[in-house]
Amino acid sequence: MHRHEVLNALQLIRAYGQLGKTESQLAQVDRLAEWIHSLSLWNREWIKHSKHCLLLVMTDRRIHLSNVDTVDSMSAEDSRVLAAFLSGLTQLLSVIEWTSVHLAIVHRSVGEPWQIYLDGSSGSILHIERLRDLCVAHSTRNVTFLMRIESNAQTGG
């Protein structure tokens, strides 16, 4: 699936170049590079721990990993919680059509809950409420989802 995403991005880069839209072309290159970097972070931390999490982010280039603490101490149950959240997030992103959401996965110390921060922008109030509901639905004693989303002040979605 991610091969399709890369080919689409490359087609856009080519088209922008043919149209002489250098800024759009460079912006697309930057988005693609950021997504590939994010995949390498996911791959380094998750391939041995949760292939399902890795597969979800490989198939949706809107989900970027901006930071991750080592996940060696994440339990299988917590990995399942994160995978369920990521699955819900990919479905929600396809409906609300945001360009990207950045995740930071933080684990300060043993015994403390995992904190998953979501950063994004340009969401309507309704979209932010739907994302908040998704976070609340998947939060557990051991995994907490926290949002830092800027609204564009629309009420519809």
Would you list the DSSP string of 70-132? --TT--HHHHHHHHHHHHHHHHHHHHHT-S-EEEEEE--STTSPEEEEEEEEEE-HHHHHHHH
Task: Choose among 96, 94, 104: nearest CA to 61.
Answer: 94
Which pTM was predicted? 0.64
Give the pLDDT score at 1. 40
Residue the block writes with tokens 């609300």: 96
Judged by average pLDDT, the poorest of 5-14, 48-57, 75-84 is 48-57
- Pairing label, strands 143-151, 63-68: unpaired
Tell me the average pLDDT across 24-52.
73
Backbone angles phi, psi at 70, to 5 degrees: -60, 140
The token duo for 155 is 């009420």
Q: Residue 123: beta bridge partners?
A: 151
With contact defined as beta carbons under 8 Å apart, do 114 and 107 qualify?
Answer: yes
The token duo for 24 is 């759009």
Question: Higher-confidence residue: 44 or 143?
Answer: 143
Task: Choose among 127, 110, 109: nearest CA to 118.
Answer: 127
How high is the mean pLDDT of the chain? 76
Tell me the average pLDDT across 126-132.
81
Give the pLDDT score at 21. 93
Q: Which of 10-14, 17-21, 75-79, 99-103: highest mean pLDDT?
A: 17-21
Q: Which of 58-62, 111-115, 142-146: highest mean pLDDT?
A: 142-146
Task: Choose among 59, 74, 60: nearest CA to 140.
Answer: 74
Tell me the average pLDDT across 62-69.
72
